[in-house]
Amino acid sequence: MKVKETTKAYIAGFLDGDGSIYVKLTQNDSYRYKYQICPYVVFYQSKGNKFVLEKMRRLIQIGYIRERKDGICEYIIGDVNSIEKLVKYIKSYVILKRNHVRLMLDILNKKKKIKNAKDFLEVCILIDKFKKLNYSKKRTNTTEQVRKILKQKGLLTP
């Protein structure tokens, strides 16, 4: 992804205004620690302005666009490497979501270094911080929930 500085600033501004950056935990028994770490960068527009997201996708050349039933379109980037590359490109231009970007990069960095259940829980603690940054009310998979499951499965020793 080769992008001009003005384009990086535009993308950052779009993320600040009509975007979201977050990481969630999804229960998945096929994963070693029974949870999957799912990072996302998402841009939003009404269905009538879908062309704006299509232009953004052509510009960034990663992710996909989906139409929700409520008339909103989402441009979703969920690939770890793509997210890391994107946020590194725009981090110096993001203003409102600067803490989100820092936290995302910290999580992605620590995720690469997970060697045991304790390391996994340390990443979960960071993921919990997105609840406060994004005013999330529905988040149910928290560090405490993961800790409980890991203990039940014998993956975490006291």
Q: pLDDT per residue over 88-115, tens digit each?
A: 999 999 999 999 999 999 999 999 999 9
* Residue 30 structural domain: 5-152
Helical segments of 34-96, H only: 50-60, 80-90
Residue 124 covered by a domain: yes
| pLDDT over 80 (residue 119) | yes
Residue 50 covered by a domain: yes
Residue 148, pLDDT score: 92
Residue 128 covered by a domain: yes
> What is the rounded CA–CA span in Å between residue 85 and residue 90?
9
Residue 157 covered by a domain: no
Residue 135, pLDDT score: 73
| pLDDT over 70 (residue 123) | yes
Q: What tokens does 147 get?
A: 């800790």
SS3 content of the chain, % helix, strand, coil (to 5): 50, 20, 30
When divided into structural domains, the chain yields a total of 1
CB-count exposure of residue 85 (10 Å: 0-12, 13-18, 19+): middle
Looking at residue 2, the DSSP 8-state letter turns out to be -
Check which CATH number belongs to the domain holding 148 and give it: 3.10.28.10
Q: pTM of whole model > 0.95? A: no
Residue 146 covered by a domain: yes
Taking only the tens place, the pLDDT of each residue in 129-140 is 988 888 766 778
Residue 47, pLDDT score: 96
Residue 158 covered by a domain: no
Residue 31, pLDDT score: 94
Share of the chain above pLDDT 70, in %: 97
CA 101 to each of CA 28, 37, 78, 137: distance values in angstroms, whole numbers, following the listed order: 26, 16, 14, 21
Residue 139, pLDDT score: 78
Residue 114 covered by a domain: yes
Looking at residue 15, the DSSP 8-state letter turns out to be H
Residue 130, pLDDT score: 87
Phi and psi based region of residue 34 (left: phi greater than 0; alpha: psi -120 to 50; beta: remaining):
left
Mean pLDDT of the chain: 93
Residue 107 covered by a domain: yes
> What is the rounded CA–CA span in Å between residue 97 and residue 21?
8
Residue 96, pLDDT score: 95
Taking only the tens place, the pLDDT of each residue in 21-79 is 999 999 999 999 999 999 999 999 999 999 999 999 998 899 999 999 999 999 999 99
